[in-house]
Amino acid sequence: MNKKKVIIPLLSAALLFPTAVNVFAQPHKQIEGVKSVEFVGMPVPATAEEKSTMYSNAKVKVTLKDGTKKTVELDYTSLAEPGDVINGKIVGAAVDINGNLITNKKGEPLVSPSPDANTLLSVNGKSGKLYMINHFESMPNNEIGTVPRALYLNTVQQDKKSGELKITDIEPIDFSEYGGVWTPCAGILSPWNTHLGSEEYEPNARAHEANPEKSSVTQFARNYYQDSTAIGNPYLYGYTTEVSVHPNGEAKAVKHHSMGRLSFENVTVAPDNRTVYYGDDGGYVMSFMYIADKEKDLSAGTLYAAKFEQTSAENGGAGNLKWIRLGHATDQEIKELAENLTFSDIFETTNDASYAKANGFSHIKTSAGEEYLKVKPGMEKAAAFLESRRYGAMLGATSEFNKMETLTFNKADNKVYMTMSTIANGMEENPNDPVDDIRLPKINAGGIYELSLTKRQTDREGNPIKSDYVATKMEAILVGEDIPKDAEGNKAHLDKIANPDNIVYSENMRTLFIAEDSGNHINNVGWAYNVDSKELSRIVSAPDGGEVTGIQAIDDLNGFSYLMVSSQNPGNIGYIQLPLVDKK
C-alpha cells in the first residue's frame, strides 16, 4: 500500500519583495529611487502541490524615478512552524501562569496550529534590536477543555545586506496579572512602536453565571492556574491588549479595560494618536470609537458606539454614522470592577415581554441573543465598559453588523477601511428584530467598507467629540460575488475577494493588502488592492483548509520593506520582502 506524503504546515512565512540583487544582479544593493510598484497577480492554485502549500507566484512591476521599469517575482519566505523548538522553547505552546507547559493527559504539550497577528518592530530605532510578537488564536481540541492561548515574543535578526529575517529566540509573554489571554486574534504596530492586540469572542458573563461549573471560562482558569477548584471570571477577558518591548528584550503586557469589553478583532489608530476604531467580530455586533485622554496613552478615555443610518442598499450598502457616548473611564477603575462584579450585579433581567415594557426594560438583540435588560442603579459605568455591546444597544447604537473584522488607516486620504467578512444575518432586512437599522441583500462572500472622517462633530446629545477624526459616512468599496458551487467546491467568484478578514494598508504603495478566511474559496488567498487604480491582484495562497492571517505591511525597516503573512490551520508564519518605495 502506498504511503501518502505528509506535508507539515509551516507556522510562519513571509513574502519577500525583491532587492536589487533580483532586479539588476548587483549583489547586496537595494533598489534605488523606487517611485511605484504594481502587483501582477498569480493564477488560482491548480496543482495538488499548489493547493496544499503556502506559496506565491505573483510578480511586481517596479518603476524607478528615472522611468526605468522591471518586473520581478515575489518570494515567500518561511520563518518557523508550530512545534519548532527554538532555544529550548516550543513555538506556539500553551503555558500556565508560571510559564510552564500545559499538557494533555498523555503528557504532550498543547501546540497551537493557528498563528495570527505578526508585529515586527525595531527597538531604539535603526540601530536597535528587532522583535516580533505573534498571537496564537486557538488550541487543538483536547480532553482537558478550554486552554489559555499564547502570545510569543520572537527575537529577530535581519541581514543588513539582503534584508532576510531569521528568528533566533522565543519567549512566552506574561499575562499573569490579567488571568491569561483569551483568544488573541489580529493586532497592529501602534504609531508609538508597541503591539496592540486583541481578545476575540468575549465570554458571555450571563451564561457563565448561570452555570459556572460547566463554563469554558472555568475550564480556562483551571488550566491556567493549574487548580482544579478554580472558578473563572468572564470579566477578565475581552479587551485590547498592549505589549511594549524594552531594548533588553523584556516584554510588558497590559489590558486596556477603559476601551470597553467586546469581541476585539483588532484596532486602528488615527494620526492624532488618540482616536481609535475597533473591529467587533461575530454576529449582531457593533462599531465602536475610543478617544484617549492623552496621545499615545490608552489607559483612560471616552468610549462611543455608532448608530448606522442606511442611505443605500446597493453593492454592499452605505450609510451615515452617528455616535452615542457610552462613558469615560480609566483602566484601573474598570479593572477593579471586572474583578469584583458579576452580570447580575449590573443588570436586572426578565423574559416577560409585557412586564419588560411596563417596567422600563430595554429589548435588545446582540451576539448574546435577544434579551430584556435594565441597568441597576449606579451601574452605568460597569455596563458601559464591561458589557459594551449590550449597553450600547440599550442606548440605541446599532448592533446588527456581522463578522466585522479588522480595520486599517489610510492617513493621506483620511479614510479607515473595515472588513465585513460576511454581509448576512443581522445586516439583512429582518423586521422581527428589535431594531432593523441595516437592511442589505445577502453577500456571503463579504466586503470591505470605507469610513470617511471629518472634524468638529458632536455626539447624539449635541456634545462636542474631541477628535478631528470622527467617522461620519460608511460605504462598501469592494465586495465578493456569490456563485453556485463549482466542480472544485468554490462558492465565490475566484477573481474577487471572499470573506476578507485581516487587512492592512501600505501608505507608500497606496495598496490595501487583504487576507481571506473563507469557506467559499477552496484555497484562501491574499490580495493586493491598489486604491487608486482599483486593481485587485492575487499574491499569495494558503494550503487548502487554512486561512491567510497575520498580515503586517512594513514600509521601511532599516531600508527594507516587508509584508508579514501567516496562515492558520495549518499554521504558517512568514514574509514577503518588497521594494522600498519613496514616500514622495
Least confident of 62-76, 248-262, 290-304: 62-76
pLDDT score, position 13: 40
What confidence tens digit (pLDDT) does each residue in 395-446 have? Answer: 999 999 999 999 999 999 999 999 999 999 999 999 999 999 999 999 999 9
Q: Using the predicted structure, report yes or no on whether residue 572 has a pLDDT greater than 90.
A: no
Label each residue of 11-58 as H, E or C.
CEEEEECCCHHHHCCCCCCCCCCEEEEEEECCCCCCCHHHHCCCECCC
Per-residue pLDDT tens over the stretch 227-268: 999 999 999 999 999 999 998 899 999 999 999 999 999 999
**Which three three-digit cell numbers place residue 530?**
491598489
Between residues 76 and 199, the one the model is more confident about: 199
- Set of cell numbers at residue 18: 525583491
Cell of 7: 506535508
Which pLDDT tens digit goes with each residue over 481-507? Answer: 999 999 999 999 999 999 999 999 999
pLDDT of the residue at 14: 45
Query: Residue 29: is its pLDDT beyond 70?
Result: no
Q: How confident is the model at residue 6 (pLDDT cuts 50, 70, 90)?
A: very low
Tens of pLDDT along 369-385?
999 999 999 999 999 99
Which position has the grid cell 505573483?
Answer: 58
- Write out the DSSP string of 388-430: HHHHHHHTT----EESEEEEEEETTTTEEEEEES-B-GGGS--
Residue 469 to residue 302: CA distance in whole angstroms: 14
Give just the sign of the alpha carbon dihedral 422, 426, 431, 432.
Answer: positive
**Confidence category of residue 141, pLDDT binned at 50, 70, 90:** confident
Lowest-confidence range among 70-84, 452-466, 469-483? 70-84
- Percent pLDDT > 70 in the chain is 94
* Residue 354 exposed, middle or buried by CB count within 10 Å (0-12, 13-18, 19+): exposed
Structure confidence at residue 302 as a pLDDT band (50, 70, 90): very high
Q: Which helix (H) or strand (E) holds 109?
A: none
Q: Residue 31 — very low, low, confident or very high, per pLDDT cuts 50/70/90? A: low
Q: How confident is the model at residue 127 (pLDDT cuts 50, 70, 90)?
A: low
* Radius of gyration of the CA atoms of the chain, in A: 23
pLDDT in tens, 311-335: 999 999 999 999 999 999 999 999 9
Query: If pLDDT is split at 50, 70 and 90, which confidence band does 35 have?
Result: confident
Helical spans, DSSP H, in 468-563 = none
- Whole-number average pLDDT of the chain: 92
How sure is the predictor about 97, in pLDDT bands with cuts at 50, 70 and 90? very high
Say whether pLDDT at 517 is over 90: yes
Q: Which amino acid is at 66?
A: D
Cβ atoms of residues 149 and 116 within 8 Å:
no
pLDDT at 347 over 50: yes
Task: Tell me the three cell numbers of residue 305.
Answer: 458606539
Q: Which three cell numbers stand for residue 79?
A: 520563518
Q: How far apart are CA 106 and CA 112, in angstroms?
A: 17
Does residue 16 have a pLDDT over 70? no
Number of neighbours of residue 99 by Cβ within 10 angstroms: 12
CA distances from 401 to 280, 365, 439, 472 (A): 9, 11, 11, 16
pLDDT value at residue 583:
66
| CA dihedral sign, ordered 257, 262, 268, 272 | negative
Quick one: CA torsion of 318, 322, 324, 330, rounded to 10 degrees?
80
Is residue 25 over pLDDT 60?
Answer: no
pLDDT at 32: 62
| Model pLDDT, residue 125 | 63
So what's the pLDDT on residue 11? 34
